[in-house]
Amino acid sequence: MPKRSVLAIVILVLSMLGGEYSTGAAGFASPAFEQVWRDSEAQFPNFWGPMLPARDGLLEPYDGTPLGQRLVQYFDKGRMELGADNTTVTSGLLAVEMIGGTVQIANGQFERRPPPPTPVAGDLDNPGPTYAHLATKAAGILAPALNYRGGRVTAVISPAGDLSFDAAIMMKGPTALADYDTVTKHNVITAFAAYRGFTGVGAIGYAISEPFQTTIKVGGTQRTLIVQVFERRVLTFYTDATDHYVIEFGNIGQHYYRWRYGV
């Protein structure tokens, strides 16, 4: 992608609203977590989210590790996982697990549970689209797609989770299909491809859905957005007036923690 086209997408990363917390984490569960958090936040503000809504570190069961557990910490925007060397930090495949209805407890081992009826983005009182919708009535959005690079977004998912297609959706440069993830066989819009180019695939993951248009409430205001689910994050895009484009993350770390621990 030409450098000029990337820089023309002035990307802001904002918090998706809808969290309720009484206390935050006492601190970082590992110096390695703190280093990753500080490095990421310095480049991309609110990439993991503030410490106030973060959770304290947890030892989660995970066979195949020396003690059968691994240290993790949940932030608004994701989960950090500490490797056996106590220095390697990975980011959890939270979207994969919630939509698939699986909690990974070891390499190749999972516990089944229903996908959560939690909206993938926006305020928590949105009726949807939810992770459960994407796993059921809107599951067509997850099906492998042909490479339509240069084309446009046509999929629409209603707040009730109904999937339809509309060839008349307005296409702008940032919403044109610009990349194709051959690993998962999904198209990616220009804005998301550009942002992932800055942060790296390891932080966002490959696309596991086609991009789709939906209308949701964010901070009490209805917005029409382009949404796409990646392995580790849910990205949303909208045009704020005419001067800049905004990419937001859904609070997937918060969503997953509530789903897994029943909070």
Residue 108 in tokens: 């190749």
Contacts of 20 (CB under 8 A, 6+ apart): 124
pLDDT score of 11 = 40
Place of tokens 């789903």: 259
> Is residue 104 within 8 Å of 110, Cβ to Cβ?
yes
Burial environment of residue 29 by CB neighbours within 10 A (0 to 12, 13 to 18, 19 or more)? buried
Residue type, 85: D
Q: Rounded to 5, what percent of the chain is helix, strand, coil? A: 25, 30, 45
Per-residue pLDDT tens over the stretch 156-207: 999 999 999 998 787 778 899 999 999 999 999 999 999 999 999 999 999 9
What are the backbone angles phi and psi of residue 194, rounded to the nearest 5°?
A: -65, -45
pLDDT score of 240 = 57
pLDDT score of 68 = 82
pLDDT score of 168 = 79
pLDDT score of 1 = 39
Which residue numbers in the chain have pLDDT < 50? 1-22, 241-243
Distance CA 175, CA 192 (A): 9
Residue 254 in tokens: 């918060």
Closest to 40 (Cα-Cα) out of 89, 7, 110, 84:
89
pLDDT score of 10 = 38
